Each structure stands twice: as structure tokens, then as C-alpha cells.
Amino acid sequence: MDITAVAPSTRTVPKGLVPASLVLGGTLLSLVGLTWDIQWHSDVGPDTFFTMPHLFLYAGSALSGLASLVVVLMTTADAKRDRTVDPIVGGRAVGVFGRTFAAPVGYLISGTGAALFLVYGLWDQWWHGLYGFDAVIDSPPHIGLLLSISITMVGAVMIFAVARDQRWGTCGTIAAAAVLLVFSMVTAIGLRAVPGALANPVSVGTASLSVMILFMASHALSRRGGALAVGVAVAVLQAVFWWFSPWAAEVYADATGLPLRDYTDGIPDLPNMIPMCLVIVAVAVELLHKVPAWIPGALGGAIIAACVPLQRVLVYGGTFPVNARYLTTIVLAAAFGAGAAVLGRRFGQMLRHLAPVKEDRHA
């Protein structure tokens, strides 16, 4: 009589997936908090340290930071005991403070961003004490906070790019790059501080950052469809936030007994900062993959800058101003887009060097 032993189910979570997901989850919380907070200020207004959108922002950096810290401490413990450190978890370990800590480079960056967030939180608190609780997104401390969160998001891209030859690594790289791209559209508002009489610096910045991140993700994954996948992921985030941001602001206002502002237009602020034409640019990047990167980069930059007033007319109505400033903006966006594409391609190659992977590791 044959006795067939049934093996117990041994579904294991791939190594590195859990902390990577926690860091990505933290960056998503930050992004949700940011779109909600911007909408809150535009539709409702009153502010305290403890509004729900602020808590999302704090929780996002806390989650990413704690996950990064735990990984660094575990890696340090393994290194001290001369155990092999698998670079699939965040990349090669580097020494921090001499050899005091051994930190996988991806988690080192994401954790540094979270630590900087705390420092810039204090700087922001001091600023508000001096200047009042202004709801200005592009104040210097706010840009410092946004840059800190962006560094955590760069770390998230690095962490997933290390595992690019596994399905979760590919999906995570696309998601992390999309989150970074969407978030960068807000950070780019800081460029308002640059004189803008001849051209719109925010449009040029938005176009360049979008092109750079598309190329970076595409070359990090080194497979056809990478740029398009990021473009689609950004469009999904844009669609979800288009619904979520005004809804969440209104629901939270109702819950706290606050009315909406007079003359609120209900147009989602952060989602409207994302270029709606990004998918078209991503398709162009895919189709022109055989030509030098600067050509689709310049084209992408020009398309995004050219479509900024189109999107404004589509959303708000009004007129389409074709003037010298508009044309200069397109030319500058094309020039910066060309450079951004070359940089993005190089950054993608750098991401591939984080942990050389074996070709037979494909999941």
C-alpha cells in the first residue's frame, strides 16, 4: 500500500520583500497625506499640527524610517557575526560611521531621508513660530521636508531595483518610480523661487523630472515597456487621487464640523499638477528606444511643457496663451528634457550596479 506523504504548504515570502514593501508603503502614506493636505488647505483651510493629512505624512516617514532602521540593525548584526549578507535586501552593505554599522545602500538612503524629515520638521516648526501657520507649499522648510521624503522615495526605488530580476522587484521598481514621479511634481513648485519672466521654471522642472524618472526606471529594468509601465502607474495614481483628494477633504471637514470654503472649485490640486500627457511621452520613449536618449528626452520635455496650458484650459477653462514665454518654456523644457533623459539613463545603469544579479535567477 502506497502511502503518499502530503508535504505541508511552504509558501515563503521572498527574501527582502517585507521590508521593501514597508518602505514603499511608507512612501505611499506620505503621498496620500500630501495630496490630502494640499486639498484640505485649498478646500477647507484651518490647520494644526495634528490634522489627519499631517498624521499620514508623519506616519509615512516613520514607517519607512523604522523599516530601514530595522534592516540596517539586522544587517549590522549579521556582519558582526561574519554571516553572509545577501545583497538582494537593499543592495550591497556599506560601512557607516567607520564600521559601526553595515547598511544596505538602498535602506541607508531611505532611512537617511526619514531622519532628515525629522530634522526638517523641527526647522519647519521654528519657521511657523516666526512666520505663522502659513499654508504655503513652497516655503523653504516645506521644500526641505519634500526633498527629505523624496530621498526616502529614491531609496525605495533602489531597494526594489536590486531585486529587478524577480517579479516583486520589477513591480516594486515601477510603483516606487511612479510614487517618486508624482511626488516630484509638488517638489518642483519650489522652482517658483527662480525668476520666471522669460519662461515658466516649474513647467521646465516638471518636464525634466518626469523624463528623467521615466528613463531611470526604464533603464533600471532594462526591458521593453518599463517607461510605459511607469507612465500607466502614474496615470492610475492620478485617477485615484483625482477622486480621493476632494472626497477626503470634504469627508474630513464634515467629520470635524468645518464648512468648505466659499468659492471652492473642487478641482483636485495635486493630481492636476501631474502631466496628463505622460502616457504619450512614455509611449514615445518606448517607440524611440533605438535612437540616442536625448532625442526622445527632448521630445518628451517639449510635449509636457507644451501641454501644461492645454491641461489648464481643459480643467479650468479660459484661454490658451501662445506667447514668447510659452514658446521659450517649450524650448527650455526640450533642452533640459534631453539632459534629463541622458541622466535618467545613467541613473538606471547605476541602479543596475547596486547588486549584480545572476541571469538564472529569473522568477
Partner 1 sequence: MRRTLFALLGTAALLLGLAGPSLAFEPVNVVHTEKVQAGPYNLTVGFSTWPVKAMQSLDFTFVPEDGIADKKGTLTMVWGGELMDDSPLARHPRKREVWGLDIYALPAPGEWTLRFDLDGPAGPATGELKNLKVMEQPGPPMGLSWAISTIPLFGLIAFIVVAWRRTRHADR
Does position 70 bind partner 1 by CB under 8 A? Answer: no
Q: Which 100-139 residues touch partner 1, going by CB under 8 A?
A: 109, 112-113, 116, 120, 123, 127, 130-136
Tell me the closest approach of the beta carbon of residue 49 to partner 1, in angstroms. 8
C-alpha cell at 311: 491641461
User: Does residue 59 touch partner 1 according to CB under 8 A?
Assistant: yes
- Which one, 5 or 255, has the nearer CB to partner 1? 255
Draw the binding track, 263-282, toward partner 1 (x: CB under 8 A; -: no contact): x-------------------
Residue 147 touches partner 1, criterion: CB under 8 A = yes
* 353 near partner 1, rule: CB under 8 A: yes
| Site size toward partner 1, by CB under 8 A | 47
Smallest gap from residue 354 Cβ to partner 1 (A): 9
Applying CB under 8 A, the span of 141-149, 221-229, 299-307, 328-336 interacting with partner 1 comes to 141-149
Interaction pattern, residues 190-219, with partner 1; x per rule: CB under 8 A: ---x--------------------------
Task: Looking at residues 291 to 320 of the shown chain, list those that interact with partner 1 (rule: CB under 8 A).
Answer: none
- List of residues contacting partner 1 (CB under 8 A): 13, 44-48, 50-52, 55, 59, 109, 112-113, 116, 120, 123, 127, 130-136, 140-141, 143-144, 147-148, 150-151, 154, 193, 255-256, 258-259, 261-263, 346-347, 349-350, 353
